[in-house]
Amino acid sequence: MSVKPRTKDGHGRLGSVLSGLAVAVGCVLFLGGFVVGAVLYQPYTVPTDSMTPTLDVGSKVLAERVDGADVKRGDVVVFQDSLWGDVTMVKRVVGVGGDTVVCCDADGRLTINGKAVEEPYLPAGKAASGQEFSATVPAGNLFLLGDERHTSMDSRAHLQEAGHGSVPRSAVTARVDAVAWPAKGVLERPASFAALPGGVSSPGPVRPLLYAIVGGCVLILAGAAYGPLARAFGPKKPARAAKRSGNTVSA
C-alpha cells in the first residue's frame, strides 16, 4: 500500500504546490490589474452637479487616458480649455466637427444634422435645453453639454466665442468609462448616438481589469486558506507511541 507523500507540516505535496501556484498567479493578476489600470486610467472626483443624474456631485469616476481624436458623440469626457476658465471639467460630447447641433425640435429634443436624438438621462417630459440654440461645429472640435441642462455651464454659454461654443479635440485628456463610487459600473453609450454616422466608442478595458483584480484576490485567498483547511479537515497524525522507562510512563 503506497503512502501519499506529505510535507513536513503534514499537507499533501500536490496540494501545497497547487496552493503556492494559486497564490503566485493571484499576485500576478492582482498587481498586474492595478499596474495596468494605473497606466490607462485616471481617477477623478466630480465637482459639480452639471452631469447629474449620470454623475452625482462627489462621484469617483475612472477616466481612460485617450487622444481627443478617438472621442465620439455620446462620450463623457474630461477636458480643460482656456476659454472655459482653464479648469478641469466633465461634459458629454453631443457634436463633432462638421455637425450642426440645434435645440429644440417640436418635441423638445436635440437634433444633430437634422436627426432628433433621444437622451435617456434627461428628465422625461422636459426639453433638452432651456434655451434655443443652433451651432455648427468647426472641424477638429467638439460640442459639449452637461446632462443637467438647466444648471450646466457648457457650450451654450460660449456660443459667441471662437469655435461657436466648441472646444478643440486636443483639450480632452480622458474619457469617463465607469463610476467607481457610488458603484454604477460602466457608462453605457446612448443608442441614439450609435445610430448616427461614426457610431459610438467602445468602453476601455475597465471590466477585464476589474475581473483580473477580483480573480487575483480570490486565488490569493484560496491558496492561503489551503494550509489551515488541510490541517482542520485532513487526516489526523497517529499518536506517538508512549515512551516507557521501567514502570514509569512518560507522556
Per-residue b or e along 188-226, where b marks 16 or more CB atoms closer than 10 Å to that residue's CB: ebbebbeebeeebbebbbbeebbebbeebeebbeebeeb
C-alpha cell at 200: 459610438
**CA–CA separation, 30 and 18 (whole Å):** 18
Residue that the C-alpha cell 508512549 belongs to: 242
CA separation for the pair 68, 139 (Å, rounded): 13
Detail the DSSP E strand segments found in the chain. Answer: 41-45, 60-65, 76-79, 89-96, 100-103, 110-112, 115-117, 133-136, 141-145, 167-168, 172-181, 185-186, 243-245, 248-250
Q: Is 50 a catalytic residue?
A: yes
Considering the candidates 91, 129, 166, 201, report the single residue annotated as catalytic: 91
Amino acid at residue number 48: T
Beta strands 167-168 and 141-145, pairing class? antiparallel
Active site residue 91: yes
Strand partners, 76: 92
Neighbouring-strand partners of residue 42? 63
Active-site position among 19, 50, 152, 192: 50
Please list the active-site residues. Answer: 50, 91
